[in-house]
Amino acid sequence: MKLSEHLSIYLRSIKMTLGASKKFMFCIFADEVLSAVMPYVPVWFSARLVDGLIAGDSADTLVLLAVAGVFLTFAISTLRNFITSVESMAEYDVYTLERWSYSKKALEMAYESIEDRETKHLLERIKKETQTGWNRFYLYRSYREITFSVTQILAGIGMSASFFALSSFSLWGKLGLVALFAATVAVNMFTENKVQASKNRFWESAIDMNVLDDKCSSFIKDYTSGMDIRLYGMEDNLDTIMYSCDRKFGMEGAKQRMKESLMKLPSDFMLQGLKLALYAVLISAALLGEVSVGSIAKYVSCVILVLGAFNELARILTITATNNHYLKRYFSYFDIPNNMYQGSLTVEKRDDAEYDVEFENVSFKYPGSETYALKNVSLKFRVGQKLAVVGENGSGKTTFIKLLCRLYDPTEGRILLNGVDIKKYDYDEYMSIFSVVFQDFRLFSFTLGQNVATASNYDPEKVTDALEKSGFSQRLSELPHGLDTYLYRDVSDSGIELSGGEAQKIALARALYKNAPFLVLDEPTAALDPLSEAEIYARFNEIAGIRTAIYISHRLSSTRFCDDILVFHNGNVIQRGSHDELVSSNGKYAELWNAQAQYYK
């Protein structure tokens, strides 16, 4: 990464933190400046006291000096305590805002990006890296340590400037000392860089190991996988994987620490050499009477503090440079563009739900896929009708619905609503005309009422009505807290567990509550028992009302009652008609029907 890129990432990070909380930044800055000057207070006062004692200053002056030194240290430390408490409150705000930023980004992103394996992997990596200390943690640390080191270097140089005015040393002697100091700093920086690079390689290699370890531990913690783990006796296998991950991590970590200590040996050696040279120079200056006894301790302390600060600065700059690589990845997630064309047309509100939909030679490939999931699909819906979409698994039925609902845009061709390309409509408005129950729908650990209404404030009568239509009313009447009953036990101990069929009925009620002109049910009866399934078919026309309803299934018995049936095969619509027409023609539908019929007889 070039220096300019490092700078631009770092500046963006500062802007981001300032945007989240200026108070937080100010507290970091103030706290670190105070913390950096604090060690110089006793150094200065002690030197002054020793010199005062030797010079025979009055007792009053000495006591005043001692009290002033103690008071100043106390004042700085009290101020720091106050600043730290304000800072920790502000840090909580920054942390909350950052957590929310992930959700906000996910909500703004095109669905295509969220579903993309690369995006998921990227997000998982960023979260893992953040958990292991990169990104936010090191960023704040770098603000702190850069402020601290720079202040300490400036204060130290300021306090020891008089050393360079000593006349007992030649200019060459002073320059030699400065050169030795610079060489020690340079060797330290170089070593720190190497150590950090080696550390990074170690953490890079550890990330995959940790991801596997975390996955295993989340399987174990997630009670939904508890059944499979027990039933298939997976405990030993999970235990072995986790144990070997931990052991490998522990052993590799110990080796890494040993390697780092060896790498640091030469720079530690140089540091001790510098200290020796400094003592030699100061003691000989003191013998010549040019340096007071108090100043010896002052100069040595200053040089050691400044050297330490340079080392710290070198270390934190190296870590900051590494962290910039992680921040680059972090920002790349937030920079994922939403390339879906955002139209602005409003969708015409029609009481009669007369919406006319046409697929015009539509083809589609999933992002990153070479093969077409849909190829040259052209069709028109007869508005208000009950349309069935059938076909074997993988034939393109769900993809067809995802395109219709604009979760993806077609790779080729157009989809028209009332004659206008759906891309031209306002995205949220267009979404609002669909109620969809996907095969892999999700319910949330909120109350039943909130799940159906997808809101905290809702009309209980409307929710109850939707639940009745979806066939959930009997179970509802048995629930002690009615609509206020929590689903699952994540939030409340009195929450209820749901069978697959019950969950599907609630998802259907959610779709009905939305009351959108299009109702799409993707394999809606797959988890229902035969009685509930029969009930839904019998009342399907009543449930759908005047809406255009699309009913997807690979079970042909369940779509018989629809007047218009589309048959998908390998991403194409190969047949269309009523059940009777399709059964009597010698095509895919008849083949599937006859193959499945043996189970219905």
From the list 84-92, 100-108, 350-358, 386-394, the region that binds ligand ADP by CB under 6 A is: 386-394
Q: Are the C-beta atoms of 597 and 560 separated by less than 8 Å?
A: no
**DSSP reduced 3-state for 494:** coil
> For residues 524 and 510, what is the distance between their CA atoms, to the nearest angstrom?
13
Q: Closer CB to ligand ADP, residue 115 or residue 290?
A: 115
Q: Closer CB to ligand ADP, residue 351 or residue 370?
A: 370
From the list 158-166, 365-373, 410-418, 584-592, the region that binds ligand ADP by CB under 6 A is: 365-373
Question: At its nearest, how many Å lie between ligand ADP and the CB of residue 396?
Answer: 5
Please tell me the count of residues contacting ligand ADP according to CB under 6 A: 12
Q: Are the C-beta atoms of 431 and 516 separated by less than 8 Å?
A: no
Q: Are the C-beta atoms of 454 and 509 separated by less than 8 Å?
A: no
**Burial profile 404-428: b = 16 or more Cβ within 10 angstroms, e = fewer:** bbbbbbbbebebebeeeebbebebe
Question: At its nearest, how many Å lie between ligand ADP and the CB of residue 147?
Answer: 47
Count of helix runs (H) and strand runs (E) in the chain = 21, 10
Q: Closer CB to ligand ADP, residue 370 or residue 478?
A: 370
Question: At its nearest, how many Å lie between ligand ADP and the CB of residue 387?
Answer: 15
Is 103 an interacting residue with respect to ligand ADP (CB under 6 A)? no
**DSSP reduced 3-state for 317:** helix
Is 393 an interacting residue with respect to ligand ADP (CB under 6 A)? yes
Question: At its nearest, how many Å lie between ligand ADP and the CB of residue 460?
Answer: 35
Q: Closer CB to ligand ADP, residue 393 or residue 598?
A: 393
> Binder to ligand ADP among 142, 191, 398, 450 (CB under 6 A)?
398
- Count CB atoms within 10 A of the CB of residue 378: 11
DSSP letters, 260-278, are HHHHHHHHHHHHHHHHHHH
Q: Which amino acid type is present at position 130?
A: T
Question: At its nearest, how many Å lie between ligand ADP and the CB of residue 398?
Answer: 3
Give the x/- contact pattern for ligand ADP in 109-148, rule: CB under 6 A: ------x---------------------------------
From the list 127-135, 391-399, 457-465, 532-540, the region that binds ligand ADP by CB under 6 A is: 391-399
> For residues 592 and 544, what is the distance between their CA atoms, to the nearest angstrom?
26
Is 397 an interacting residue with respect to ligand ADP (CB under 6 A)? yes
Question: At its nearest, how many Å lie between ligand ADP and the CB of residue 394?
Answer: 4
Q: Closer CB to ligand ADP, residue 173 or residue 394?
A: 394
Q: Closer CB to ligand ADP, residue 322 or residue 398?
A: 398
From the list 101-109, 238-246, 393-401, 497-505, the region that binds ligand ADP by CB under 6 A is: 393-401
Question: At its nearest, how many Å lie between ligand ADP and the CB of residue 554?
Answer: 7
Is 396 an interacting residue with respect to ligand ADP (CB under 6 A)? yes
Question: At its nearest, how many Å lie between ligand ADP and the CB of residue 367?
Answer: 7
541 phi/psi in degrees, rounded to 5: -65, -40
HSE toward the beta carbon, residue 37, CA cutoff 13 A: 17
Q: Are the C-beta atoms of 152 and 305 separated by less than 8 Å?
A: yes
Q: Closer CB to ligand ADP, residue 17 or residue 525?
A: 525
From the list 215-223, 366-374, 525-533, 582-590, the region that binds ligand ADP by CB under 6 A is: 366-374
Residues 6 or more apart in contact with residue 226 via CB below 8 angstroms: none
Q: Closer CB to ligand ADP, residue 57 or residue 115?
A: 115
> Binder to ligand ADP among 39, 69, 294, 391 (CB under 6 A)?
391
* The residue count for the chain: 601
Q: Are the C-beta atoms of 337 and 325 separated by less than 8 Å?
A: no
Is 395 an interacting residue with respect to ligand ADP (CB under 6 A)? yes
End-to-end CA, the chain: 69
Is 394 an interacting residue with respect to ligand ADP (CB under 6 A)? yes
Residues in a beta bridge with 447:
486
DSSP letters, 516-582, are -SEEEEESTTTTS-HHHHHHHHHTHHHHHTTSEEEEEES-GGGTTT-SEEEEEETTEEEEEE-HHHH
> For residues 153 and 160, what is the distance between their CA atoms, to the nearest angstrom?
11
The crossing angle, in degrees rounded to 10, of helices 460-469 and 500-514 is 130
The encoded tokens of residue 81 equal 């305590």
From the list 293-301, 396-404, 424-432, 501-509, the region that binds ligand ADP by CB under 6 A is: 396-404
Question: At its nearest, how many Å lie between ligand ADP and the CB of residue 207?
Answer: 25
Is 440 an interacting residue with respect to ligand ADP (CB under 6 A)? no
Question: At its nearest, how many Å lie between ligand ADP and the CB of residue 415?
Answer: 15
Interface positions, 22-81, toward ligand ADP (CB under 6 A)? none
> Binder to ligand ADP among 326, 366, 408, 589 (CB under 6 A)?
366
DSSP letters, 120-160, are HHHHHHHHHHHHTTTTHHHHHHHHHHHHHHHHHHHHHHHHH
Is 373 an interacting residue with respect to ligand ADP (CB under 6 A)? yes
Give the x/- contact pattern for ligand ADP in 399-438, rule: CB under 6 A: x---------------------------------------
Please give the residue ranges that form the binding site for ligand ADP (CB under 6 A). Answer: 115, 366, 369, 373, 391, 393-399
